[in-house]
Structure 1
Amino acid sequence: MMTNPNLNPENSQHPIAVSPDEAARLVGIGRTTLYAALAKGDLPSIKIGTRRLIRVYAIRDWLAKNEG
């Protein structure tokens, strides 16, 4: 399986958490699809102040669960 280097949490050049808009861009899906996954609880996120962030490993896990 080919992995996107942007989704590798061990790569110190990349963040460990991203905004929902950035997550959608990295995955290659629309914002509406990503926000629907967040709303359903399929893709976990964290909120710090007013900012919503998605951990990169959560994105990878979510993609793996939806593989096939």
Structure 2
Amino acid sequence: MASIARINSNSERYFAALAVAELRALHSFFDQHIVEDRELGYFALDEGDYNALPAHLAACVVHTVHGAMLDEF
């Protein structure tokens, strides 16, 4: 599920998307990506929604927060 921050400045959008990605990563096996879009700004994207990211999205990833849940137990 993609989450879009509705904030004015680009840096505020980035940090809002980062906060969402870090929070979601705590409860996910999947990586959370921060994606930059010209129209939407920055948004958090759960890798589990897409399996492998399509090339057009992968090219726009600016930061990744790794999923924190472990499947080793």
TM-score between the two structures when normalised by the length of structure 1? 0.26
Whichever structure has more strand as a proportion of its residues is 2
Whichever structure has more helix as a proportion of its residues is 1
Q: Which structure has the larger Rg over C-alpha atoms?
A: 2
TM-score between the two structures when normalised by the length of structure 2? 0.25
